[in-house]
Structure formats: C-alpha cells, structure tokens
Amino acid sequence: MARRFLRSVLLAAATSATLLFAAVQPGQSQDLAALVANSVRIDAGGQLIAEGGVEVFYQGRTLRATRIVYDRPSDRLTITGPIVLIDGQDAILVASQADLAADLTEGVLASARLVLNRELQLAATQIQRVGGRYTQLDNAVASSCKICEGGAPLWEIRAQRVVHDQQERQIYFDQAQFRISGVPVLYFPRLRMPDPTLARSSGFLMPSVRTTSGLGTGVKLPYFQTLGPYRDLTVTPYLSTKSGRTLDLRYRQAFATGQIELNGALSRDELRPGETRHYLTATGAFDLPRDFKLTFDGIIVSDPAYLLDYGLPVADRLDSRIEVSRTRRNEHVSGRLIGIRSIRAGEINSTLPTVITDFTYHRRFSGGVLGGEAGLRFQTHGHYRSSTNPLDTPSDPDVIADGRDVSRVSLRLDWRRNFELPMGIMASTLAEISGDAYKIGQDLNFGGTPSRLHGGAAVEFRWPWVKAGAGGVGHVIEPVVQFVWAPKGTEAFPNEDSILVEFDEGNLFSLNRYPGSDAIERGGRVNLGLAYTRVDPAGWTLSTAVGRVLRTDDLGQFSVASGLDGRQSDWLAAAHLSLPRGFGISQRLLMDDDFRLTKSETRVNLSGERYGLTGSYVFLTADAAEDRPSDVAELAFDGSYKVNEVWTARAQARYDLEADRANRAGIGFQFRNECVSVDLSLSRRFTSSTSVKPTTDFGLSVDLVGFGSGTSAGPSRSCRR
C-alpha cells in the first residue's frame, strides 16, 4: 500500500518539479494520497526529495515538515523539521526530525512531543510509533499544565516509559513519579490512565477528602467499572478517623428508550454504635409508545440523621413515586403511585397518608358554540393510612382522624371568553362547575360516601392605559375589577390537600384559590387590582401590583396567615425592579389595614461577569391551621465572586431572625486553570433535634485535566518575566 502511494508521487513528480499531487479518487481513499511542496526532485540515486512547505495527506493523517527524503529500497522517509504529524482529530506529534515508514505508522521521532485532545502533552527525547496504534515515549514527562521558561509545571508525571494505545485510548506509565511544582510526592511502579478522548474507562477516580465533627477526617476513593457499553458501577470506600466505614455504590444502565440509576451505601460509625446504617435511591425515565413517559424515583433510609451525617440531599419526608404521563399542546394525562415515609421529629407514619394514588386527565378546547376557551379536568385520588383509629388522638393532635382513608373522583369544567368594549376596555366572562364524589373510611366525623356539586361565574373588566413618555419611556396602568358569584354552601368534607393557601398576584383573579380539590372557595366577592409597568429604553423595568378581595359574607373559609380571612382580605402588594448589569429585586407582601404584616418575601439577584448574589428574606405570621405555632423570619443568601481568572470564592448562610441564630453557613473556594481543578469547602449546620446534632463539614476534591473526558479545562496561566 505504501509503495502504491510513492508510485503516485513519482508519477506526478515527472510532470511538475514544484507541485506534486496525487488526487484521491472515489473508492481509492485507502490507496492514494497527496503531497504538496515548493520543490520536488529525484536525485541520481533515485531518492525522492521534497523541500519547502512540505505537506503529506494520507489515510486521515497529515504530515508537515521542511524536508522529506524518500528512499525507495527501504520504503522509508527521512524527515527534517520542524515536524507536525496530525493523526486523526485527537493526536498531534511535534518533533525536530524523524525516520518513518512511508505510511507514517512506524518509526522514530527525535526531540518529540505528543499532544492529546489539545490538552495533555507528553514530551520525550525520542518517540517511537509502532503499527499505527502504539506510541512509545522513553524518559517522558506528561502534563496538561502550561510550562513557563525556567519553571516547572504545576503538576507532572515523569516515567521511564509511557505507551499510548491509540485504539483502546489508554496511557500506560512505567516507574512513574507524580510531581507538584517539580517536587516528587507520589510514586507508582505502574499506572494506567485514560487519554482525554475517552469518556468511560474502568479504573480509580480522583479521591476526595471530607472532614466532619461527627465522623472525623475521611477519604473517599472511587473505583469506576464499566460493564459493557451501556452499564457501569462505581464503588466508593469511605474511611474516617472516628471508626467510620462506608461502602458507597452507584449503578447506571442505559436502554434503547431510557435509563436507570441506583445509589446506595452501607455504613458503620460511632454516631450509632452497633448499627448498620444505610440508604438507597432509585431513579429512572423511559419513553413509552404514543408519547407517554414513565418515570420513577424512590428512596429508603435507615434513620433520620443518615442523610445529614453523610452530606446527602436532605428531606424529612421521603417521597417515592412511579408515574406515567403525557403532555401535549392542549392535553395532559398523568397517573402516579406515591409512597411517603416521614423522618420528621414528632410525626407518626401510621397516621400519615403513606400510600397515595392519583390519575389526572386535563384537556383544553377552543372555539365551539360559546366561543372562547374551555377546559375539562377529570381526576381520581386516593390515600391510605395504616392506622385503624377513627378518632384524632392526643399523641397526634392534628384534627385529622388517625386512620382516615379517602377515595375521590372529581370532574371540573371551566370556560372563559374575552370581549373588546369601547374606550379600550377588555371584558371577560368566566364560569366553572365541578363535581366531587368521596368515599371516606375510619373517620367518625366524615364517614360514608358524600358528594358535592359546585359552580361559580364571574365578569371581569380590564382597562389598560398606555402612554409613551419622553425618550421612549413606556408606561402602562391597568385597573382590574372582577365580580364573582358562587354559592355559599357549607363545607362538610375533610380538607387534606388545600391547607396551605398562597395569596399572590398570580391568583388574585382566580375563581378558586385553594391549591387542591378538597376545599372550594365559596360566596360572592369582588376582586380588585391595579397594576403599573414602566419600561425604560436605558434597560430597566419597574412593575408593581396592588389588590385585595371584598366579600359579601365572612364564611370562615381561610386561616389568618393566608391573608384571605374575613370579609376584607389583607392588602396584596408586589413589585419587581430590573436594572441593567444583572440587578433585580422582587417584593411581595400581605398587610392588614393596620399595616401589620401577614406574609412578606423579598428577593434580590445580582449577577455580573465576576460576581453573583441571591438573597431572600421571608416572614410568615404564626398560624396553628398551617402547623406553625410561632412567627417565622429567615434571612438567606448565596453568593460567589471571581477573584481572578482562576480563583472563585463562594459563601452562603441562612439565619433565623426569630430565634436569633444561624441555621447554616458555609464558604468555599475553587481554583481552576488549564490543568487542575481544586474545590475546597467548609460548612456548619447549627440546628439540632432529637435525631441530629450540629455539625461542621470540610470537603476537598482535586481533578486533573487531561485524563478522561471529565473536568473541562479552565483559563491558561500567563508566564511573567
């Protein structure tokens, strides 16, 4: 094959002394090649000599050099550099001179350097190419760090021999030293690492260090094992100084239509002597026929404190579910099975709805006889408590029968149509009717099979006023009034899915503000609102809204903290200011006629090229109906600042203003350049309960850029003189 390549070169050289080109024809891409040079000649001994800007293109390889001499009897190339050999998209060889086979797959390169994926560099006095697959370097240095004149790289691996297997995409080191700034810190008789182009390969991953006040200082050393092209397993031993022994496992598998992931761990430690602690999570998602999707998410844990102690995502009610759903432009279908286990202090699982089933079909329609837009929602729901007690007990004082089991079927129809009236007034008519049938067991107060039919109608008027001010400033003022009629009725149904009611600008003009189906807003009322928006061409926007609800009768439907109790609701006010350069502030509050706050939420966002900050303040008044015996006032922030191109600082905190103490605080630093990423964190959790204690957590992780396809490279360092 190589000789055929040279024959094509000689044939072209006979017709041109300055340009030689053997065109690659269809079906012959493995046999023919191209050579370009300023001068091509054949000397008296029959050697082909190409000089000046020489380029050779052959089987996906590109060779650039100053001079090439082809010796026909030995079928070899003697090349004078500087030499650049590009082998595919991911490997580049740079050398001063070389002696290679004519097909560029065998030979020796002197004073050479191998660059993989434009990240990892391997340098040696001599590089050998073997069979077009292996590249061997003797007395080699490997690093992805930028090397300044007279200095050492931030990290490097020095080895007596390095072999790069281009087919398997692996790098093998013999008698290797790992050095930091030129100082040896680790020695490996033999070491194997994936090259930067390989996404998955069995082997050890970078270790990490974690220190907590409860477990002491520990090291995690993950081992990644591929189980074919579609499965893998990660095993992570975690040993800590306070007798902590943990085996962490992660299993992943991809299928033609989806994937699953299992995470779990077994632990023994001094926090719970003599006990084997554990957790297990399972997640998955699959595509089903006719655009349906199957998802599942499950979790089990041995004790309430395990997730906190081991730095795992924390929840005090463990939610496991499986769901089949489909969402289209005008349709949503969902069926799900949910299991709940509480690890919250003071809660009894036998008196909670631990098994829940739901089915929902929602469809939107347009046009028709009445015009406008209509909707149909059909829903079934059921939940089960393992307790058989039909009464509420002092050990679980929540006004809910400890053994209550409920099944419900609901059907709702809604309709809305908009009209344009003179003077720019926008009018709308709204209507809604719903029916519910219940089956209630093990409850002496709400037993049997009650049913309910409820409806409501409304007329709404909006009158937007628009003005264009000086300099292109836009102003919009929109007063809104909505008259709602609904029967007063009486509620004789248990309310379990609509206890927490939010009153904000999003549902100010809703016919029913309850989030679920157990409760329905009753009685006639008038919803009033006024909105103002200012848009400035300079890049900032201000939007505000204020409103309240006036009722014909106080039916005692809502709690104090909702802001909707009484004949007159609290005042609802909201504002959002957005300024250039990433600054935004939002404020929402509920306030009574005496200017006392019921609820308040303030959020601040600040983002720029080098900084980011989010902060919030939340106040909730005490309300026994919402299981909140005292006021809640909490301040939180989360921010980062890019100190320079490679250093980033982070900080976060949550502070309980009512208790006058911090809940959580943490700081962190990240260093990331072209060859290494270091993440350092320190956090403290101050809260405690019967199952958890305040803890301090310290974490350190290091990733080397250039091995595998994990951490991406950061900005390169600059060399200072």
> Which pLDDT band holds residue 231 (cuts at 50, 70, 90)?
very high
Question: Where does a domain end: 52, 76, 105?
Answer: 105
Strand-pairing partners, residue 496, are: none
Q: Residue 168: left if φ>0, alpha if ψ -120 to 50, beta else—which one?
A: alpha
> Which pLDDT band holds residue 101 (cuts at 50, 70, 90)?
confident
- Per the structure block, which two tokens stand in for 357? 């089933």
Q: How far is CA 99 from the centre of its chain?
A: 51
> Which pLDDT band holds residue 152 (cuts at 50, 70, 90)?
confident
Give the mean pLDDT of the chain: 88
- Say which residue the tokens 């190339």 belong to: 77
Domain that holds residue 82: 1-105
The share of the chain scoring above pLDDT 90, in percent, equals 59
With respect to residue 472, please indicate whether it lies within any of the assigned structural domains.
yes
Burial (Cβ within 10 Å: 0-12, 13-18, ≥19) of residue 62: middle
With respect to residue 468, please indicate whether it lies within any of the assigned structural domains.
yes
- Say which residue the tokens 């026994």 belong to: 624
Strand-pairing partners, residue 190, are: 174
Q: What are phi and psi of 3, to 5 degrees?
A: -65, -35
What distance in Å separates the CA atoms of residue 344 and residue 179, rounded to the nearest whole number? 49
Side-chain-facing half-sphere of 221: CA atoms under 13 Å: 7
Nearest CA-CA partner of 587 in 604, 574, 596: 574
Strands 571-579 and 541-551: antiparallel
The pLDDT of residue 14: 34
With respect to residue 651, please indicate whether it lies within any of the assigned structural domains.
no
The pLDDT of residue 199: 80
3-state helix vs strand vs coil in the chain, percent to 5: 5, 55, 40
pLDDT tens digits, one per residue of 521-575: 999 999 999 999 999 998 899 999 999 999 999 998 999 999 999 999 999 999 9
The pLDDT of residue 61: 83
What distance in Å separates the CA atoms of residue 65 and residue 227, rounded to the nearest whole number? 44
pTM of this structure? 0.81
Q: Which residues contact 433 (CB under 8 A, 6 or more apart)?
A: 412, 413, 414, 453, 454, 455, 456
> Which pLDDT band holds residue 106 (cuts at 50, 70, 90)?
confident
Nearest CA-CA partner of 127 in 85, 64, 72, 175: 85
- Per the structure block, which two tokens stand in for 164? 């790069």
- DSSP structure class, residue 308: H
Question: Where does a domain end: 642, 671, 686?
Answer: 642
Question: Where does a domain end: 90, 105, 120?
Answer: 105
Q: What is the mean pLDDT of residues 207-211?
A: 91
- DSSP structure class, residue 494: -
Burial (Cβ within 10 Å: 0-12, 13-18, ≥19) of residue 141: buried
Residue type, 680: L
With respect to residue 224, please indicate whether it lies within any of the assigned structural domains.
no
**Residue 30 reports pLDDT greater than 60:** no
Burial (Cβ within 10 Å: 0-12, 13-18, ≥19) of residue 200: exposed
The pLDDT of residue 482: 98
pLDDT tens digits, one per residue of 288-305: 999 999 999 999 999 988
What distance in Å separates the CA atoms of residue 46 and residue 134, rounded to the nearest whole number? 32
Q: Which of 104-113, 176-185, 530-539, 703-712 has the lowest mean pLDDT?
A: 703-712
What distance in Å separates the CA atoms of residue 402 and residue 407, rounded to the nearest whole number? 16
For the beta carbon of residue 718, count every other beta carbon within 10 angstroms. 8
pLDDT tens digits, one per residue of 321-357: 999 999 999 999 999 999 999 988 888 999 999 999 9
What distance in Å separates the CA atoms of residue 63 and residue 5, rounded to the nearest whole number? 14
Residue type, 266: L
- Say which residue the tokens 């270790």 belong to: 207
Alpha helices in 533-667 (DSSP H): none
> Which pLDDT band holds residue 169 (cuts at 50, 70, 90)?
confident
**Residue 227 reports pLDDT greater than 60:** yes
What distance in Å separates the CA atoms of residue 623 and residue 635, rounded to the nearest whole number? 20
Residue type, 283: T
With respect to residue 261, please indicate whether it lies within any of the assigned structural domains.
no
Tally of domains in the chain: 2
With respect to residue 581, please indicate whether it lies within any of the assigned structural domains.
yes
Q: Please enumerate, as own/partner, the contacts of 262-266 that have beta carbons within 8 Å and a separation of 24 or more.
A: 265/238, 265/310
With respect to residue 485, please indicate whether it lies within any of the assigned structural domains.
yes
Burial (Cβ within 10 Å: 0-12, 13-18, ≥19) of residue 439: middle
Nearest CA-CA partner of 690 in 356, 316, 439: 316
The pLDDT of residue 147: 79
Q: What is the mean pLDDT of residues 9-36?
A: 44
pLDDT tens digits, one per residue of 32-57: 678 889 998 888 778 888 999 899 88
With respect to residue 543, please indicate whether it lies within any of the assigned structural domains.
yes
SS3 7: helix
Q: What is the mean pLDDT of residues 703-718?
A: 72
SS3 404: coil
Q: What is the mean pLDDT of residues 415-437?
A: 95
> Which pLDDT band holds residue 151 (cuts at 50, 70, 90)?
confident
pLDDT tens digits, one per residue of 252-267: 999 999 999 999 999 9
DSSP characters for 274-304? Answer: T--EEEEEEEEEEE-GGG-EEEEEEEEESST
**Residue 15 reports pLDDT greater than 60:** no
**Residue 719 reports pLDDT greater than 90:** no
